[in-house]
Structures are given as structure tokens and as C-alpha cells.
Amino acid sequence: MNVSIEPPFLIESSRVVLYAETGGAAFYTGLDKVRVGYTKLGAVPRLAICEYLGNGGIDLVYCGASWEVLLNHRHPSVASAMEKAELGYTGIREKWRPYRDLTADEVRTMEEMRKTILFLNADPALHAHDPSASQR
């Protein structure tokens, strides 16, 4: 299986800013204490630092080998996300790669998604479910 090191330009609803291969279990320190529910996540092969299109928030995204999202963790800044990653992976600071410039089509796609997210976030009634509403 030939898996690209470069992630897609969007991961879920976020634009990739930086990405890295962690080196997996050989470089995993276990000091990050990242959990999914009550279970420790453990070593992952790839990380991405992304900007959420809805509000510009920064996420450290823990990914599988094909860039599938295993967990997101919100941070106040890119620097904060990088520090968290450094707790979990020895030498990760040197492995971060900035994402390439986006093509015109990618920029268009990203802006369309951003507009959709902002539209949905602006009107909670579009995505909220009120069970009592059908009984009125």
C-alpha cells in the first residue's frame, strides 16, 4: 500500500497548516496522556495541526496512516499544539512540514466549505433537534 506523506488539504472541516510523521511507537514517549474516553490513545503514525474553518481555532489532529482522524484536540495556538505533540513524540519538532500552497480549486473548495460552516453555525435551528417542536 502506497500511502502519501502529504495529507489532504482539508481534514474534516479544517485546513492543514503543518503535518508530520511521528515515527510511531519507536518515538512515542507516552507523556502526552491523550485519551479517547477512558482509553489512552497511544502512538499514532501521523499528526496534523489544522485551522478549523468555522472559527479559526487550532486543532492538533492525531491521524492514522491514511490521514484518518483518530482524535482532535483544540489548542489556543499553533505553538501550543506543537508543545503538546512534543510531549508525546521525541524529535517531532524537526519533523513538522508546512503545507504547500493551495491550488485555485482547493482555495475555492475551502472557501465554499467555510461559508457552509459559518451559515450552519449562524442559525442553530438548522442543526438543532427539539423533540418537543413536533408536538406543538
DSSP 23-60: -GGGGB-STT--EETTEE----SEEEEEEETTT--EEE
For the stretch 100-110, pLDDT in tens is 999 999 999 99
**Do 87 and 80 meet the contact criterion of CB atoms below 8 Å apart?**
no
Domain boundaries, the chain: 10-100
Mean pLDDT value across residues 24-29: 92
**pLDDT tens for each residue of 105-130:** 999 999 999 999 999 888 666 555 55
pTM: 0.85
Mean pLDDT calculated for residue range 4-29: 94
